[in-house]
Structure 1
Amino acid sequence: MAAWAALRRRYWATLPARLRFLRAVTVSLTAALALLLVLAGLAATGTWDTVADRDAPRTISAADLNLALNNMDAQAANVLLSSGNAGKGRLRTPYGKAVGFYGDARREIGHDLRTLAVAAQGDRADERTVESLTDDFAEYQELIGRALENDGHSGGKAAALADYRKATDLLQHRLLPDARTLVESNNDAFNGQYTQARSTLSAQLAAVLALGLLLLAALGVLQWYLARRFHRILNPGVLAATVCTLVSVLLGAQLLSASAEHLRGARRDAFDSVVALSRARAIAYDANADESRYLLDPERRDQYTSSFLTKSQQLYGIKGADLGTYDAELAVTWQAYRTDGHDLRFTGEFRRELDNITFPGERTAAEKTVQAYVVYQRDDRKIRDLLAAGKEHEAVEFCMDWQPDTSNAHFAAWMTALDQLTDINRAHFTASVRAGRADLAEQLPWSGGLLLLAVALTGLGLRPRLAEFR
């Protein structure tokens, strides 16, 4: 009891003691709020660094690997298809382009594997996947190299085709599944980081508002107590401190809320579309390769026809359609969407993108991409019709040539439209990251500075009153 009485006399029994106690409460709450804002700012900065410098690049590298593997195999098929018999009857332009694209894809795969090997460190599952990919890719290159070597010999097409079959089977059954696993693994990690960061920002926002209200309440009590004891309406220093605190709390809350919104825009509005469109591009290259494989390998034509349809359904899914009915159903469902933007009777990666239209120009770019896809699908039927009519040379030329109104030219136009659509979302992802970082750099110092000013103003406001008791 004696100790309690001593504490009461020291911290509350006298008027100066009560003023010092209220000052200590406001300073403590201000310090706690300032510390919370600093920690929230550091956490948000770390989140943006992780998103922009780790999670997004890893996912994009995995998607690029998936695409490059499909592209490399497609170009290998194109080289074999356009090479003629040991160079005799070679389609020079298609052959030259295929050789160049093949080399580009091989170099891209090497770069992506090195990037993903570094990114996988510490994650044993991803490390094993990258190791498996590296080993399988070495075997794949050996098979393709042997196929191209055999193709260079007169009468070596059959041996080249046998090696190519082994290579493409290795690609389809081991390399591509592993590559897709890496895409999903890295994308899931990004999603987990996003969910955790959003939850943390929400908790920090609630804590800032709670502490801010407590601090404003403490300043209000202090103002009331001064007015009551010293018969003054307002204390200018405490009033100015209250205004500074209010502005600081509003800035801090706005900063955390804006950070959450920028993060949502970066992940959900922009990067979800980037992932869907990256998948679409990889599927497109694989489908285009199926056309070349279909022409190259008569014994597997049924297999490659089925595979082409499967990939078409993954891009623009039409329930119950086969290649005989796909074009008509595609025309009907696409016209229904063009008439009513809410009438989406199809599924697949294009539907995923059209469900996530957010940015200016994105819908127009998405519709242009699907329209280019419609043209490409019509070209595929022309290739099959020419082959069915016994015009194999014309079918190969139409599939392989790069002249206007040929299949490759239309495929390139489709990929250009797809890239432009992807670039819109990538640009907004970058803009969201930049805006989130800029808000932290601009608003956090102001919020913290105002809190420091509030402490100083509270001290200045109380100093004359405490001086009266010396």
Structure 2
Amino acid sequence: MTTTQSATRNGRDGTKKPMATPVRLRLLAGSAILLAAALLAVTTAGMVQTRQQVRVIGEQAAPQAATASDLYLALSDLDSQVARLIMIGNSDELSASRLDALLTYQRRSAEVDADLSRAQNAAVTEATRAQLGTLATQLALYRQLAWQALAVQDQATDQAPGRPPADTLGYYARANTLLHADLLPTAKALRAANQATLERSYARQRTIAWWGVGLAVLFGTAGVVLLVALQWRLTRSFRRLVNPALALATLATAGLVVSAGVVFVSETHRLDSAQRTSFAPFLALTAAQAVSYDAAGDTSRYLISADPGDVQQDVATKSRCVIDGGACGRGGDDLTAGLNDLGTAPTGTGPDALDRWNAYQRDHNQIVALADGGKLSTAVDRLTGIARGDAAFDFFYYDTAVSQVTASREASFEDAITGARGALSGWTVIPAVLMGAVMLLVLVGIRPRLAEYR
């Protein structure tokens, strides 16, 4: 052995270095690499799970909740159009209104069928499938009763608007009872189940995010501590102030922990904000529309009902529900989340949605007063007229405002989901790149020092 080799093995001052040093270096380096692998595993798994939950919320849970809510709305308006058709009758003077009601009925009927089909395709539990099967059966019976009512009416002659045949009223009473006692409660239960599924998806995403942050901080902090300890060991044993490779590895580890934590927290905040400020108001606004469609149908029902007092009481309950929120009668909806939106003009100018609803309510009260005063023909004209100040015009004016705000909230939610997907872009690869670099840098950092012991 040469003198130089002996000096290298024993140290530059000729003093033999403890043989434990390379073992400690290998132990520290191996532990740092294992922690880097653990950090890689938890961040990658967390990001994959977060991305999966964003997909579940954006492509499954939220659309299913929206479908169930739209189904409830379409059913509410479906019956309103049947009441309108029965109230109009076969009057030649109101043929345009009858055609409009018929076309609206057909459009709503198609929406109900499409919503049912989407819900059946997305159903994953037996309970949901059973609810949908019950709903389909009830819907078939409702349609049969409604068309029997209209068929009897079509056969009548010399029929004045607002005075349908008794058999027509009998069939319609059964259809309306079926809708309010069975169809709408079933649709509401389906909607509630889908909203509960959506809430569970949000809760799962929050759990994944906080576990991801916690484990990333745990393994990342341990990794940084080990890398600093390894750096300190090299400085102490070899009198090297900074090992560039280990310094870069330390920065990369800390950077991954911080950036991954920011992504986990920001995704949770983004999704929670989207739910709170966009999707929950969207669902509440859709429910408010359903209630208002049902209330509008009550105006027609009042003119043909044998017991208009009960109808008027229902109208008052539904109107308070739209205006004040809270529970809309027994087992009703909580619309509070959407009422602030109803108080906002859709274009920033002109009357807001609540003002427009109040205008319709004034129309309704005037129609009721006319009917109670024996002026049924004038009441029908006020209900079906399309001039400003007539009920049909004012309800359309209100519905347009609500629809604009509802569409805005839905678009805002879609933008948030798109942003959430974009923020996660690349995060199934970034941890592997950074932690792969850390493992390589650790090996590069200690290799020259270990070589001195050969």
Look up the match of 1:418.
402
Look up the match of 1:459.
443
The alignment's TM-score, normalised by the length of structure 1, stands at: 0.86
Q: Contact (CA 8 Å) 1:295, 1:301: kept in 2 or not?
A: yes
Amino acid at match of 2:87: L
Indicate whether 1:58 and 2:64 are aligned. yes
Look up the match of 1:102.
105
Amino acid at match of 1:270: S
Q: Contact (CA 8 Å) 2:47, 2:424: kept in 1 or not?
A: yes
**Deviates most, 158-167 or 214-223:** 158-167
- 1:373-416 Cα distance to aligned partner (Å, 9 max, x none): 12111111111122223221111111122233211111111111
- How far apart are the structure 2 equivalents of 1:134 and 1:437? 36
CA distance 1:180–1:364, change in 2 (3 Å):
farther
SS of the equivalent of 1:152 reads helix
Q: Shift of residue 364 of structure 1?
A: 5.6
SS of the equivalent of 2:388 reads coil
Indicate whether 1:206 and 2:214 are aligned. yes
SS of the equivalent of 1:441 reads coil
Structure 1 gap ranges (5+) = 1-11, 320-346
Q: Shift of residue 90 of structure 1?
A: 4.1
Counting matched residue pairs gives 425
Q: Shift of residue 53 of structure 1?
A: 1.3
CA distance 1:213–1:102, change in 2 (3 Å):
same
The alignment's TM-score, normalised by the length of structure 2, stands at: 0.88
Percent identity, please. Answer: 27
1:30-429 alignment to 2 at 5 Å? 30-83=36-89, 87-121=90-124, 123-155=125-157, 157-297=165-305, 299-317=306-324, 351-354=336-339, 368-429=352-413
Q: Shift of residue 367 of structure 1?
A: 7.7
SS of the equivalent of 2:35 reads helix
Q: Contact (CA 8 Å) 1:58, 1:186: kept in 2 or not?
A: yes
Amino acid at match of 1:464: P
Alignment RMSD (CA, Å): 2.4
**Deviates most, 445-454 or 269-278:** 445-454
Q: Shift of residue 266 of structure 1?
A: 2.4
CA distance 1:301–1:413, change in 2 (3 Å):
same
Structure 2 gap ranges (5+) = 1-17, 158-163, 327-331
Amino acid at match of 2:356: A
- 1:351-373 Cα distance to aligned partner (Å, 9 max, x none): 4324689xx99896998121211
- 1:76-103 Cα distance to aligned partner (Å, 9 max, x none): 11111122xxx34440221110000010
Q: Contact (CA 8 Å) 1:365, 1:421: kept in 2 or not?
A: no
Q: Contact (CA 8 Å) 1:366, 1:421: kept in 2 or not?
A: no
- How far apart are the structure 1 equivalents of 2:36 and 2:96? 72
**Deviates most, 347-356 or 145-154:** 347-356
SS of the equivalent of 1:469 reads coil
Q: Contact (CA 8 Å) 1:93, 1:401: kept in 2 or not?
A: no
Look up the match of 1:445.
429
- 1:436-468 Cα distance to aligned partner (Å, 9 max, x none): 111111455334322221221221111111111
SS of the equivalent of 1:405 reads coil
CA distance 1:141–1:193, change in 2 (3 Å):
same
- 1:329-351 Cα distance to aligned partner (Å, 9 max, x none): xxxxxxxxxxxxxxxxxx98564
CA distance 1:116–1:220, change in 2 (3 Å):
same
Q: Shift of residue 120 of structure 1?
A: 2.5
- How far apart are the structure 2 equivalents of 1:29 and 1:380? 71
